[in-house]
């Protein structure tokens, strides 16, 4: 009887240790939803550097990164490139006078914001393409339209040159002031990692793309934690 109990305990221990690892193997190696690292978008520059371990020069790649900037959020606080440090960030462009599209996109961001309200790693930024009209006060009022709004979602304004340069050269999307209150700008949401690199583009008004964004936020968070060798639990 005692021998049977010992064998039973051993079997339970094997089950506890083996089954989670087996399912992880299925997910990463055999499953249809297996883990894939996200690609890095933008121009890439090959460079030679000396590898002291191999004692020879090897070819490395410098990936496109978002350049530094200074903008102001809806609470009057300065926001710069440092805000991306140790964060996974979703960025989009909009303006408060936008009739319908911006409200749809920001409605989806609002849903994403709620999904990650407990996460310290995930944040959101919405940058106006109409800074002449969208003052700090205007952004504060606009942000108030979204229930349960928290400090993880920044609505940003600044000078026109900074914003348009950031859109085109940083996030690699279009932003043009046509005059008379009309703007051409990208409806894409961008996923940015903690190294200021673009890891994904998503049509902000598409539920399919936003769902994919939601999934890839989780992938990038896992990727960041693995890079830092930080326990996930």
Closest Cα to residue 135, out of 84, 97, 99, 91? Answer: 97
Classify burial at 104, counting beta carbons within 10 Å of its beta carbon; exposed 0-12, middle 13-18, buried 19 or more: middle
Q: Are 49 and 60 in contact (CB under 8 A)?
A: yes
Closest Cα to residue 69, out of 55, 89, 98? Answer: 89
| Residue 109, helix vs strand vs coil | helix
Neighbours of 85 (CB within 10 A): 9
DSSP H or E segment with residue 190? strand 188-192
The confidence score (pLDDT) of residue 82 equals: 93
Is the same domain home to 81 and 193? Answer: yes
Neighbours of 4 (CB within 10 A): 8
Is the same domain home to 145 and 94? Answer: yes
73 assigned to some structural domain? yes
Largest CA distance in the chain: 87
DSSP H or E segment with residue 200? strand 198-203
Is the same domain home to 173 and 219? Answer: yes
Is the same domain home to 30 and 112? Answer: no
For the chain, 233 residues long, give each residue's pLDDT as a single digit of tens: 544 444 444 343 333 334 333 333 334 444 444 557 899 999 988 877 777 777 777 777 888 999 999 999 999 999 999 999 999 999 999 999 997 899 999 999 999 999 998 899 999 999 999 999 999 999 999 999 886 656 789 999 999 999 999 999 999 999 988 888 788 889 999 999 999 999 999 999 999 999 999 999 999 999 999 887 654 43
Is the same domain home to 20 and 98? Answer: no
Determine the distance from the C-alpha atom of residue 34 to the mean position of all C-alpha atoms in its chain, rounded to a whole number: 20
Is the same domain home to 106 and 199? Answer: yes
Is the same domain home to 22 and 91? Answer: no
Owning domain of residue 11: 1-34
Is the same domain home to 19 and 76? Answer: no
| Cα–Cα distance measured from residue 213 to residue 177, given in angstroms and rounded to the nearest whole number | 28
22 assigned to some structural domain? yes
Is the same domain home to 15 and 126? Answer: no
43 assigned to some structural domain? no
Is the same domain home to 15 and 125? Answer: no
As for how many domains the chain has, the answer is 2
42 assigned to some structural domain? no
The confidence score (pLDDT) of residue 172 equals: 96
Is the same domain home to 208 and 130? Answer: yes
């Amino acid at each position: 009887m005692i021998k049977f109990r010992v064998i039973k305990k051993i079997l339970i221990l094997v089950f506890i240790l083996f089954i989670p690892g087996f399912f992880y193997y299925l997910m990463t190696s055999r499953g249809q939803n297996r883990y894939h690292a996200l690609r890095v978008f933008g121009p890439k520059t090959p460079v030679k550097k000396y590898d002291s371990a191999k004692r020879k020069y090897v070819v490395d790649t410098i990936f496109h990164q978002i350049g530094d900037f200074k903008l102001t959020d809806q609470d009057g606080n300065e926001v710069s490139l440092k805000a991306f440090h140790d964060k996974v960030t979703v960025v989009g462009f909009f303006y408060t006078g936008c009739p319908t599209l911006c409200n749809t996109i920001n409605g989806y961001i609002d849903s994403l914001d709620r999904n990650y309200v407990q996460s310290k790693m995930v944040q959101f930024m919405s940058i106006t393409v109409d800074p002449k009209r969208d003052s700090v006060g205007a952004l504060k009022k606009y942000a108030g339209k979204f229930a349960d709004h928290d400090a993880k979602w920044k609505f940003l304004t600044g000078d026109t040159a900074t914003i348009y340069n950031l859109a085109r050269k940083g996030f690699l999307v279009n932003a043009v002031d046509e005059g008379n209150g009309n703007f051409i700008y990208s409806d894409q949401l961008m996923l940015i990692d903690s190294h200021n690199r673009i890891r994904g583009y998503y049509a902000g008004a598409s539920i399919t793309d936003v769902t994919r964004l939601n999934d890839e936020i989780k992938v990038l968070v896992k990727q960041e934690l693995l890079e830092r060798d930080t326990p996930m639990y």
